[in-house]
Amino acid sequence: MNNILVTGFEGYGGRSDNPSAEIALALDGQQIGGKQVTSAVLPVTNHNLRNNLVSLIETVNPSAIFCLGLSPGESVVRIERLAANYSRFEIADNAGEQYCGSVVSGGPAAYEATLPVEPMLQSVLSSGIPARLSESAGTYLCNAVMYHALDYCATTSRACQCGFIHLPFMPSQVCDVLNHGGVDQTRLSSMSLTDQKQAVVAMIECVAGGVVDSTTVT
Ligand code: PCA
Question: For residue 112, what is the domain's CATH number?
Answer: 3.40.630.20
Q: How far apart are CA 194 and CA 79, in angstroms?
A: 18
Number of domains in the chain: 1
- What is the reported pLDDT for 179? 87
pTM: 0.95
CA 114–ligand 1 middle distance (angstroms): 20
- What is the reported pLDDT for 48? 96
Tell me if 103 CB under 6 Å of ligand 1. no
- What is the reported pLDDT for 183? 60
- Rounded to 5 degrees, φ, ψ at 55 are -70, -35
Which range marks the domain in which residue 152 is found?
Answer: 3-216
CB 164 within 8 A of CB 69: yes
Tell me if 111 CB under 6 Å of ligand 1. no
pLDDT along the chain (218 residues), means of 10: 94 95 98 97 98 98 98 97 98 98 98 98 98 98 98 97 98 90 78 98 93 45
- What is the reported pLDDT for 185? 75
- What is the reported pLDDT for 1? 66
Tell me if 142 CB under 6 Å of ligand 1. yes
Which positions are catalytic?
80, 142, 166
